[in-house]
Amino acid sequence: MVIRNRLLFDEVKHLPLIETETELIKRASEGNPEAFEVLVQRYQKYVYNLALSVIGNRDEAFDAAQETFIRAWRSLKDFRGDARFSTWIYRIAYRVSLTVVARKRPLPIDDLPEPICEDASANPEEAAENDYRQALLRRAIMNLAPAYRTALILYHLEDLSYEEIASITGVPIGTVRTHLHRGRNYLKREIVRLSGGDENEM
């Protein structure tokens, strides 16, 4: 199996863990904004990425992420800890994002977000090639149907399990698996289409 090294809480580990997440949630649900602020800090990146994956537009993803946290704040007292907090907040983000998608026009290709290059390679040619591949891959992902795109991003980029994705999106695990497998197949074809190459050369 391919090693998936981007764990959801990798970056969380680097934040000052003065309190456990359970304590933070408890304090936030009692109306403590400072505790909630720490939770927002921890999850904003993942919530924003999920919204961006579903919506495909930065400004709307920003609004959706903001709306997600406001809704989470309002309903924190209903969070019973049956699921992980991350799953719970992802579920809110997914619903908010779907609402945004439902009321917007189809996404024109020019509105697609540009990739963010985090590591500048020492070799400019390599870096350019890497940037090109990443841009191509992102564009191909964004061209997928939302259900396939979401399954793919949640599984591969946000490192969630089939079960967690099913819980977030509200579909059976078998459907998540199908979305993921079909999504990969379509992605492969889309990359070939965008690059004008041969499928067997990928």
Partner 1 sequence: MKCEQARGMMHAILDGSHSDAEINAYRHHLCECEQCRCEDQRWRSLITEIEALPLWKEPASLLPAVMNSLSTETQEEESKIGPVLLFGFFAFLVYHLLSSLKTLSANAGGDIELFHNPVFMYLAWIIVGLAFSAGLIYFLMRKKAHVKFL
State yes or no: residue 46 binds partner 1 (CB under 8 A): yes
The only residue of 84, 87, 113, 127 in contact with partner 1, by rule CB under 8 A: 113
The only residue of 24, 25, 35, 40 in contact with partner 1, by rule CB under 8 A: 40
Stretch that binds partner 1, among 16-24, 89-97, 120-128, 149-157 (CB under 8 A): 149-157
Total site size for partner 1, rule CB under 8 A: 55
SS (H, E, C) the chain: CCCCCCCCCCCHHHCCCCCCHHHHHHHHHCCCHHHHHHHHHHHHHHHHHHHHHHHCCHHHHHHHHHHHHHHHHHHHHHCCCCCCHHHHHHHHHHHHHHHHHHHCCCCCHHHCCCCCCCCCCCCHHHHHHHHHHHHHHHHHHHCCCHHHHHHHHHHHHCCCCHHHHHHHHCCCHHHHHHHHHHHHHHHHHHHHHHHCCCHHHC
State yes or no: residue 48 binds partner 1 (CB under 8 A): yes
The pattern of x and - marking residues 157 through 186 that bind partner 1 according to CB under 8 A reads xx---x--------------x--xx--x--
**Residues forming the site for partner 1 (CB under 8 A):** 1-2, 4-6, 29-31, 33, 36-37, 40-41, 44-49, 52, 58, 62, 65-66, 69-70, 73-74, 77, 113, 115-119, 133-134, 137-138, 141, 152, 155-158, 162, 177, 180-181, 184, 187-188, 191, 200, 202
